[in-house]
Amino acid sequence: MATQSSREAWFSQYQDFDRDDGKQLIGPDGFFRLCEALKYSMDGLEPLVLLWKLGAKELGTVELESWDREVRAMGATDNATLKRVVDVAVSKFTTDFASYKDFYRQVFLYLRSQNQRIQVETAKTALPLITNQHWLFMRFVKFLEAQGPKMATMTRDQWNLLLDLSRSVDAEFSGYSKEEAWPSLFDDFYDWVREHPAPKPIDVTSSPK
C-alpha cells in the first residue's frame, strides 16, 4: 500500500505548478502526460474512465484531494496498477449497470458547456464512444444529424434519460408511449425512427457497455 507521501510524489509528476491560485491539481497538460504514460489515446474511452475513477470534477483536471482519496481506495501504487484498475472498470461496464450509469452521467458533467448543456456536436462524438456503439445511441446520433442547426444542445435531463430509454425499448420502439413522462425530444425521436426504419437488422441484445 502506497503512503500518502508516495501518492503525493506520484501526483507531483503531473501537477501544474504554474498556477497563480495556489491550487494543487493536475491540469490538462499534466493529464495528457499521464494518459501518454498509460498509453491511452485521447480519442478513446479510457481517459474519460480515468477521470471518473480519479473523482475528477472537470474535464482534464484532477485535484490532489480527490487523487489521494481515490488512488488510496483503488489500491493503486503506480501507473501500471492504475491502468489495471481502469481496464477492470471498463470490462465491468457490461455487467455492472449501476457503475456504468454513474460513469455515463459523469461524462455529461465533463463535456457540458458554460450554459450547463452539452453541444449536439459533442454529443454526436461522445455517445458512440461511451456506449459501445449501442444501436439506440447510434440511431439517436443519426436523428441528431437529421435535425440540423435547429437543435444545438442537449440538457442534462435528456442526456441522463437517454440511457434509461435504451433499456426500455426495442428497435421498433415497442412499448414507447408519448403519454409517459419522457422528454418531448424523445417523442420526436420516436416519430423519426418510425419514419426512418433501420436499413438492416439491429442487434438489440447488446448493452450500452
Per-residue pLDDT of the chain (209 residues; tens, 9 = 90+): 668 899 999 999 999 998 888 789 999 999 999 999 999 999 999 999 999 999 999 999 999 999 999 999 999 999 999 999 999 999 999 999 999 999 999 999 999 998 899 999 999 999 999 999 999 999 999 999 999 989 999 999 999 999 999 999 988 888 899 999 999 999 999 999 989 887 654 454 456 66
pTM above 0.85, yes or no: yes
Domain boundary among 59, 92, 125: 92
Q: What is the CATH number of the domain that holds 191?
A: 1.10.238.200
For residue 205, is it within any domain?
A: no
Q: Specify the number of domains making up the chain.
A: 2
Please return the burial class of 179, using the count of CB atoms within 10 Å of its CB with bins 0-12, 13-18 and 19+. exposed
Q: Which of 185, 164, 157 is nearest to 101 (CA)?
A: 164
Residue 10 is part of a domain; what is its CATH number? 1.10.238.10
Q: What is the pLDDT of residue 20?
A: 80
Q: In terms of domains, do 189 and 156 share one?
A: yes
For residue 206, tell me if it sits in a domain: no
84 within a domain of the structure (yes/no): yes
Q: What is the pLDDT of residue 175?
A: 82
Say whether both 54 and 31 belong to one domain.
Answer: yes
Buried b (16+ CB within 10 A) or exposed e, 147-164: eeeeeebbbeebbebbbe
Q: Is residue 33 part of a domain?
A: yes
Answer whether residue 208 is part of any domain. no
- The verdict on 134 and 179 lying in the same domain is yes
Are residues 102 and 60 both part of a single domain? no
Please say which residue of 92, 111, 133 terminates a domain: 92
Backbone angles phi, psi at 119, to 5 degrees: -65, 140
The domain containing residue 144 runs over which residues?
A: 97-195
63, 108: one domain: no
Residues 171 and 105 in one domain: yes
H-assigned helices in 54-134: 64-74, 79-92, 97-111, 120-130
Domain stop point among 46, 70, 92? 92
Of 149, 145, 143, nearest to 185 (Cα)? Answer: 143
Residues 39 and 66 reside in one and the same domain: yes
C-alpha cell at 140: 439517436
